[in-house]
Amino acid sequence: MFSPEGPTLRELAVQALSSVEHGYDLLAPKFDHTPFRTPDSVLTAVATALKESGPYEDGLDLCCGTGAGVDVLATVCRGRVTGVDFSAGMLDEARGRGRPAGSRVSWVRADARALPFTARFDLVVSFGAFGHFLPRELPGLFAQVYGVLRPGGRFAFPVPAPPRPSAPAFWALLGFDAVMRVRNALWRPPFVMYYRAFRLGEVRRELERAGFSVALRALPEFGTRSDGSPRVRMVEARRPD
């Protein structure tokens, strides 16, 4: 699961016993060698889909980590590109990466639940971070995103179909979430990371409640399941004009 450059089991355990923010500070130098970084196949598929609805002007990568989504924004945005994350360590890594000459990228340290921007964006993307938010935090999070979008702007993110009980991944994710629940019942500070808490139906409802109009788009690169439903979708939530 991890390459030799990735974290050791001990390092992962220390990370998991920290807060989310400090855990990522610790993991940051090795983060890109873990499966937690969004794979290029997903980033490319989202960039391809966004190119069809774009181009956009200013873009924001919410919970940017080392900048995976910033690279997507750089291909579809003509204006400013900003990455926001609350881990100083992850942002240091992101800043240390070379970006294409002329790209206008800035990095902001802030909590996604209290975004500090006065300027507005035309496109907000987010990859691989929603498991860090409890379902009860989604209304506040989506309201923040709505507030930083210009009228007509979009909030886009990929959502994989949940594995079925016949798939080993179903049991692996169930087991992971169960371990995290026990850990959080016994240990402070909590490390919120639940794979199965972010459910498309509820997410759609909360986005609509926040004022977005929501469209789902299959990402054809990942094919379909046996019942014909897409393996991965992109949510496109639009702030009305």
Ligand X SMILES: C[S@@+](CC[C@H](N)C(=O)[O-])C[C@H]1O[C@@H](n2cnc3c(N)ncnc32)[C@H](O)[C@@H]1O
145 near ligand X, judged by CB under 6 A: no
Cβ burial 114-127 (10 Å sphere, 16+ → b, else e): ebeeeeebbbbbbb
22 near ligand X, judged by CB under 6 A: no
- For residue 241, the minimal CB distance to ligand X (Å) is 28
Q: Would you say 38 and 127 are in contact if contact means Cβ atoms under 8 Å apart?
A: yes
Map residues 171-210 to x or -, x wherever contact with ligand X holds by CB under 6 A.
----------------------------------------
234 near ligand X, judged by CB under 6 A: no
30 near ligand X, judged by CB under 6 A: no
144 near ligand X, judged by CB under 6 A: no
- Locate 160 and state its tokens: 């994989």
- For residue 198, the minimal CB distance to ligand X (Å) is 12
Identity of the residue, 90 or 232, whose beta carbon is nearer to ligand X in the bound complex: 90
128 near ligand X, judged by CB under 6 A: yes
24 near ligand X, judged by CB under 6 A: yes
Closest-approach residue to ligand X (CB): 65
> How many positions of this chain bind ligand X (CB under 6 A)?
21
Residues within window 74-113 making contact with ligand X, judged by CB under 6 A: 85-87, 90, 111-113
Q: Which residues bind ligand X (CB under 6 A)?
A: 20, 24, 36-38, 63-65, 68-69, 85-87, 90, 111-113, 127-129, 132
